[in-house]
Amino acid sequence: MTTSAIVEPTEKSPLRETRPSPAPSSGDDFDMQAPSIDVATRAMIHRRAARMNASSISEEEEKQLHAERHALLDKEFNKTITRQEVMRLEYVRWSLDRIDDAKHGTKLDAIERRLERFEQFAAEVDDFKKKLIQVAAGDRHGGRTRRR
């Protein structure tokens, strides 16, 4: 099964770039940094591609990875794990993390964006509060004169 390199936009997807990058003139001078795509958009595209790839794994493959992780963790706790198995355990953990991100990452990204907006709002409220305190302190100490 092959997947398309072009992600078509959907109503739920903010990704709108559907044009493929221009073909390189030669293999040696291919620039991996397309000038028309900013860093944030590039990161979003890579994240979505990774999620699409990880979401294509079957339930059986995921169960096998969980079983393998369990067996390797047993060896680690019994202190009978080899260096090669430690490396394999790290890979299995990474793979399971990618699968988990594919399942829940979009929702977590939305929560993160909301949290960032909330933090920005809290900072703006804090700045406003400081300005109010400054104005109130100026009025109490005769810093401002009232018009009559």
Q: What is the mean pLDDT of the chain?
A: 78
Say what percent of the chain tops pLDDT 90. Answer: 46
Give domain status of residue 136, yes or no: yes
Give domain status of residue 123, yes or no: yes
pLDDT of amino acid 8 = 40
Place of tokens 């030669």: 26
Tally the domains of the chain: 1
Give domain status of residue 124, yes or no: yes
- Average of per-residue pLDDT across 30-35: 54
Instruction: Tell me the CA distances in angstroms from 50 to 30, 44, 62, 99, 126, one per residue in order.
Output: 22, 10, 16, 9, 38
Instruction: Tell me the CA distances in angstroms from 70 to 34, 63, 82, 107, one per residue in order.
Output: 42, 11, 15, 27
Minimum mean pLDDT range among 3-12, 28-37, 72-81, 99-108: 3-12
pLDDT of amino acid 57 = 85
Give domain status of residue 128, yes or no: yes
**What confidence tens digit (pLDDT) does each residue in 85-110 have?**
999 999 999 999 999 988 888 899 89
Q: Which domain holds residue 111?
A: 59-140
Q: How far apart are CA 72 and CA 81, in angstroms?
A: 7
> Is 101 within 8 Å of 51 (Cβ atoms)?
yes
Cα 12 to chain centroid distance, Å, stands at 17
Cα 111 to chain centroid distance, Å, stands at 11
Give domain status of residue 94, yes or no: yes
| pLDDT tops 70 at residue 61 | yes
* pTM for this entry: 0.51
Give domain status of residue 54, yes or no: no
Give domain status of residue 44, yes or no: no
Give domain status of residue 50, yes or no: no
pLDDT of amino acid 85 = 97
